[in-house]
Structure 1
Amino acid sequence: MDSNLDVLIYAHDGRGLGHVSRSVGIGLALRRLYPGLSVLLVTGCAATAELIGDGLLDWIKLPSYKTNVTSGKSSGVKGDSNIDDKLLGELRARNIRDIVDAYRPKVFLADHTPQGKHKELLPSHTVSPETVRVLGIRAVVGEVGKVWSELSVDVFSGSYSNIVWYGDSTVAGKSELERLESHYGVAPHEAGYVSRLSELHCLGNGDVKRNKLAGVISIPWSGEGTAVLLDKLAQALGRIDKGYGEWKIYMNLRESGAAAAVNGFSGLVNVRFEQVGPQFLDDLRNSRSAVIYGGYNSLTDVMVCGVPSVVLLRGMKDGEQEEHAALLARKSCAVQDVFSDQEVSVEELRESLTKCLAAEVDGCSINLNGAENAACYLAALAGVDDVDRQS
């Protein structure tokens, strides 16, 4: 095969960071374990460089999608390029096709759906027929119509040959694997949970000893109920003993309304706001507690760090976060309580955070080596013998 690239990774983008973060974790693992492999990531996510940090992973930036969420339903709007959502999908489809045609990767890993967001992967399937195309699926899919559609089956059967599942069947059981196999006609390869944090930890930067934070709170993107939630958090934190230490709230401070959110905590001297970025992971490792949203990436981070956490749910229509958080709450002490972000009360937040501050998390029995296992799987598909793997 006349190939210029070993592995090309495509990451779905538009709202949260979970899809891109998983893809970055796998890319970092490939570069760490197989330094001789050529690897590229392609995505529109503007935060990708921050997610990669000091890791050795190169990437190609597409114009970004943007998504608004109303009553749990997402819809596309103009992104930072100010190009109409539908037209942007068509333009990105041409970009991706040209990238695949130029690099002709041995292996192509697509996150989430075989057709890509707005079907933007379809034109790329007509070039580089020798490329082995792999679909990566998160631990709990939820009722995402584009994953379970007949179109996804037709696209997969025409262009893909493999599925890698970023989950642990001891947590979710075999039902998700069986459903995927029934839908796509291929038995998925079970890799385990993918943690970008674990890969960044392998960079060997070392931990600086410092006083423990009381906790970190992550609100990576604002929704229709964010302002009310922040007001409740301000009241709850104001009722917790300041002797536990400092709280850090990570938000996108560039969003409209961020200044008003900061002002709502002006009377709390032990609360600081930080811009969403790589520093969050260092602070998470150094925290007694956390408040996170129940996305795959955040749940995996708190399990890796062993931090007792309050998990918030946005009430998305696909039901993925509710199902996933409930499963993990039964398996990991890192998930202490799960609440709806719109229905949780001030007292529930205070009580749950107080419980987290007093809790200790035992060692996790969940498979969190998904990035490394997925990297080994992809390297084998690219024709690399495992003897070439770095320790």
Structure 2
Amino acid sequence: MAYSHDGFGLGHLRRNTNIAARFVRQRPGSNVLLLVGCSVGSFFGSQAGVDFIKVPSIVKVAAEDWHPLNLRISPEKMKGLRASMIQKAAEVFRPDLFLVDHVPTGVWAELLPTLQMFREREDPPRTVLGLRDIVNAPDTVRELWRRENIYRAIRNHYDEVLIYGCPSVFDTASQYGLDVEFPGKITYCGYICSDEPHKTRKQMREELEIRKDKLVVVTAGGGRDGYPMLQVCLDALQLFGQDPPCEVILIAGPLMDPEQKARLQIQAEGLKVRMLSHVFDNLNYMNAADLVITMAGYNSLCEVLRLRKKSLVLPRAGPSAEQIMRAKYFAERGLIDMIHPQDLSPKLLAKRVMAALERDDYPVDDEAIQLDGAARAAVHLSELLGQRVYESAA
């Protein structure tokens, strides 16, 4: 069983679905039940042995502050609803392993009843915490985890900590004090990239009927926080006039607010741009591009690295330092180019797009960057379970 709170984007869900897909292929006859809060939980398709339980959706409105997304109920009532659904699912499903992404105790500590129930079982499941490469600024994370007793929760409730990143890029365990608190519990898996097949650049460009030599694909990932970035991209495109140096495809994302999408459609009127609400094959569009413009979310940059695409990254300013930090560390290694949010303007963006289209000095080859994190995580989880026999799906 795997949990992702899904309070903002698609990153948590995407990591768990990638690991689940690898795990059931590796251990035939096994089953993975995903607890998800995202309304597009099935957006990534389905496969034998993997299924979803959708809990009511929440949205992150500020740092450590979540509200119900659709239901008109109080956060306290939402907490009770989600916590009871999670606990009941765990009670009936009786997992041999419980994988939690990013939030050790869950939103509003909603996982604590389930984690406590596991401890009281005669045959408790192995419990594993999965952390992305960068959570937030180290001082901020350490202070929050001390205040919220997160270190104690990890110590009491988790057998292992998997880090979905590379210490050569950002030493997550050291920066957040995990190496001192939990020696011997930590495993770096590398970055988790989708291993789904994608079309060739030539094939996709033919399908899209690309006429110009250069194609720029602008993607906001899930799109929940992508409106400001897409807005400035359209402002920059306007500076090119009616004869831009490239074709442009702009993808808003499945989680963007419909009113924001409508405003972008109005802004795009008269511009040489194809604007898409969302696509089911984002990798194909990115692979067709000469330049990808995106934010610095975990999934987006992993896809860029997997495809070895030239990218101009526009990290969001907040509410955490995660995206700025990730973009900075990747740019320092020559993997991407970036514009800091304090410097971002339509004029500068247009200038940097023109320059990026002509550059051939990045992305560099970086053998220290491991992109097989899903496979490594699945192997580690399988080893934790040893030779347990699974109930047949038949």
Shorter-chain TM-score range:
0.7 to 0.9
**What code does the residue aligned with 2:265 have?**
V
Q: 2:169 aligns with which of 147, 168, 171?
A: 171
| Identical counterparts, % of pairs | 26
Map of 1:1-391 to 2, 5 A cutoff?
8-50=1-43, 52-53=44-45, 55-56=47-48, 57-69=50-62, 73=63, 75-128=65-118, 129=121, 130-142=124-136, 143-144=140-141, 146-147=144-145, 149=147, 151-173=149-171, 176=174, 179-195=177-193, 197-198=194-195, 200-201=196-197, 207=200, 209-211=203-205, 214-219=215-220, 220-223=222-225, 226=227, 229-240=229-240, 242=244, 244-252=246-254, 254-269=257-272, 271-333=273-335, 335-340=336-341, 343-360=343-360, 361-365=363-367, 366-384=369-387
Distance in structure 1 (CA, Å) of the matches to 2:133 and 2:386: 27
Q: Is the 8 A contact 1:107 1:133 kept in 2?
A: yes
Distance in structure 2 (CA, Å) of the matches to 1:178 and 1:254: 34
Aligned-residue offset at 1:356: 2.7
Q: Is the 8 A contact 1:177 1:187 kept in 2?
A: no
Distance in structure 2 (CA, Å) of the matches to 1:175 and 1:375: 20
Distance in structure 1 (CA, Å) of the matches to 2:279 and 2:147: 35
Distance in structure 1 (CA, Å) of the matches to 2:278 and 2:113: 34
CA offset digits 1:35-55 (Å, max 9, x no partner): 3221111111112211x2254
Aligned-residue offset at 1:364: 4.3
Q: CA RMSD in A?
A: 2.6
Unaligned runs of 5+ in 1: 1-7, 386-391
Alignment size in residue pairs: 364
Aligned-residue offset at 1:245: 2.5
Q: Is the 8 A contact 1:13 1:43 kept in 2?
A: yes
Distance in structure 1 (CA, Å) of the matches to 2:334 and 2:52: 34
Distance in structure 1 (CA, Å) of the matches to 2:146 and 2:17: 25
Normalised to the residue count of structure 1, the TM-score between the two structures is: 0.84
CA offset digits 1:222-281 (Å, max 9, x no partner): 55x945x54432232234554533422323465223212111111113x12222342222
Distance in structure 1 (CA, Å) of the matches to 2:28 and 2:252: 33
Q: Is the 8 A contact 1:163 1:186 kept in 2?
A: no
CA offset digits 1:68-109 (Å, max 9, x no partner): 24xxx4632332233322211121111111111111111111
Distance in structure 2 (CA, Å) of the matches to 1:239 and 1:358: 19
Distance in structure 1 (CA, Å) of the matches to 2:154 and 2:285: 40
Q: Is the 8 A contact 1:65 1:85 kept in 2?
A: no
Unaligned runs of 5+ in 2: 389-394
Give the structure 2 partner of residue 389 of structure 1: none
Aligned-residue offset at 1:291: 1.6
